[in-house]
Structure 1
Amino acid sequence: MNSNLQFDFIVNKENNTVNIKREFAANLELVWEAWTNPEILDQWWAPKPYRTETKSMDFREGGMWLYAMISPENEKHWCKNDYQIIEHQKYFSGLDAFCDENGDVNTDMPRTLWTNNFTENGETTTVTIVAKYESLSDLEKIIELGFKEGLTMALENLDQYIEAKFKLRKQNKTNNEARVCSYLNFPGNTEEAFLFYRSVFKTEFIGKGIERFGDVPSSTENWPPVADEVKKMVLHVELPIVGGHILMGTDAPKEMGFTLTSGNNMHICLEPETREEADRLFSELSVDGTITMPMADMFFGSYFGEFTDKFGINWMINFQSRNK
């Protein structure tokens, strides 16, 4: 975990609650998605060496998330969260419980009433969590079971997911000269495609060449569980073609929360010379379009945003100063 990110953990035995405030180095949209998309939750929610496997999820008021915490010996410990109140990208609450694979509650174990508030603070997002219990004995039992240690590890897993999701190509661009790139997403065959393109254009990959999900360095040992087949997939690759144009590519596996369809698998990526030009391009090109990520300073050093314009064309705007 980045030690500069806020993490408060306070046990209040007077009202049977645990109060947590945790900051993440990503915008609100990404952090909300990480807490509400089962494919992403499966990547980080369980503390190691356990992993999470979702059986079903219906993220709506009155809906339920049914999932298993799976041990290294493949033992499944079932849990569920009954969602109560949801305000999109602001707040959600739910009553969590240990249960069986059908969702029948284990009444011998405490239930946790979670309330999660999401607040964007420029380039970071803070999640304020209250975990409330029916009695002091329930609270003490959960603490004894390692609640703080387990949650801390899970949240560090999310840090690492964010790092992998947004790791960009700092080493591949060494100056502020403007350039235009095409960013291609593939369902798992990026390497095959780019080896083909390399043979056609007779050029070589830029920077470190083909980077894979399994190559991403982590600041801690708590790397989120990623299947071996995903680790082998391509995280990023760049290939110059003609006229100074760059093809960039990545695999977009469903295990990491991606859903590819024809039309969303390609972006035009603009890398202007100045921050002001990045703002202008974003503002003018996105008129009457759909903004999927507003321009913001990202923890990896870029000023970045993306959108689909009014004609259905996908764009990325990426400014990264080399003067830092």
Structure 2
Amino acid sequence: MTAFDPDLDLTVERVIRAPRDAVWRAWTDPDLLEQWWTPAPTRTRVDLLDVRPGGGFVTRMSDDGDVYVPHNDAVFLVVEPGERLVFSNAITSQWRPASPAPVAMAAEISFGEHPDGTAYRAVVRHANPAERERHEELGFFDGWGAVTAALADLAERTASGV
């Protein structure tokens, strides 16, 4: 795990009141990921979710539920089941260098034990301060906060059987 650098990284942390396996499943099951990956009312379609080191992570999004446009084309770099996922959009799912819009990033998602469920943390790393600042200005905290809340809601409902 790389240390957090406030000049280059952004983070979202939350306690999710569900077991780690429920949160992990929401990240690794395409049907569940589609339910929370983009902020509502935008919809997600998962084209590829190959959760292994070197596996692809490709999604599309739609504002109208009809036309889906590319959203994420990334590769998983690290997969530690139930513990940690690391992916980057700087390399495509086909292992080609990429210059993704709006910013290139590497995201490290960790799932820790917590007395109330799962200590969830997403650290998004950027190449330089300007990219980090751009991502923040584009609404990182609102966007990643909204999808983390949707993830929590889904994992908590799934874990409780609702």
**What TM-score, normalized to structure 1?**
0.44
RMSD of aligned residue pairs (Cα, Å): 2.5
Q: 2:145 matched to which residue of 1? A: 152
Q: 2:60 matched to which residue of 1? A: 68
**Stretches of 4+ moved more than 2 A in 1?**
72-75, 96-99, 103-109, 162-168
Q: 1:58 matched to which residue of 2? A: 50
Report the Cα distance in structure 1 between the residues aligned to 2:5 and 2:127, rounded to whole angstroms.
14
Give the total of aligned pairs.
Answer: 155
For 2:35, what is the secondary structure of its paired residue?
helix
Report the Cα distance in structure 2 between the residues aligned to 1:115 and 1:44, rounded to whole angstroms.
18
Is this contact kept in 2: 1:98–1:109, CA < 8 A? no
Report the Cα distance in structure 1 between the residues aligned to 2:155 and 2:51, rounded to whole angstroms.
21
Shift in Å, 1:11: 8.5
Report the Cα distance in structure 2 between the residues aligned to 1:105 and 1:158, rounded to whole angstroms.
27
Q: Does 1:131 align with 2:124?
A: yes
Report the Cα distance in structure 1 between the residues aligned to 2:97 and 2:43, rounded to whole angstroms.
21
Report the Cα distance in structure 1 between the residues aligned to 2:52 and 2:34, rounded to whole angstroms.
18
Matches within 5 A, 1:72-221: 72=64, 74-96=67-89, 105-107=98-100, 109-167=102-160
Shift in Å, 1:24: 0.2
Shift in Å, 1:98: 9.8
Q: 1:40 matched to which residue of 2? A: 32
Q: Given the alignment, which residue of 23, 30, 33 partners 2:22?
A: 30
Q: 1:21 matched to which residue of 2? A: 13
Shift in Å, 1:64: 0.9
Shift in Å, 1:35: 1.4
For 2:108, what is the secondary structure of its paired residue?
strand
Shift in Å, 1:165: 2.2
Shift in Å, 1:163: 4.1
Report the Cα distance in structure 2 between the residues aligned to 1:26 and 1:145, rounded to whole angstroms.
30
Comparing 157-166 with 62-71, greater Cα deviation is found at 157-166
Q: What runs of 5+ residues in structure 1 fail to find an aligned partner?
A: 1-9, 169-234, 236-324
Q: What runs of 5+ residues in structure 2 fail to find an aligned partner?
A: none
Query: Whose radius of gyration is greater, 1 or 2?
Result: 1
Q: Deviations over 1:195-239 (max 9, x none)?
A: xxxxxxxxxxxxxxxxxxxxxxxxxxxxxxxxxxxxxxxx6xxxx
Q: Write the letter of the residue equivalent to 1:160.
A: D
Which structure has more relative contact order (CA 8 Å, sep 6+)? It is 2
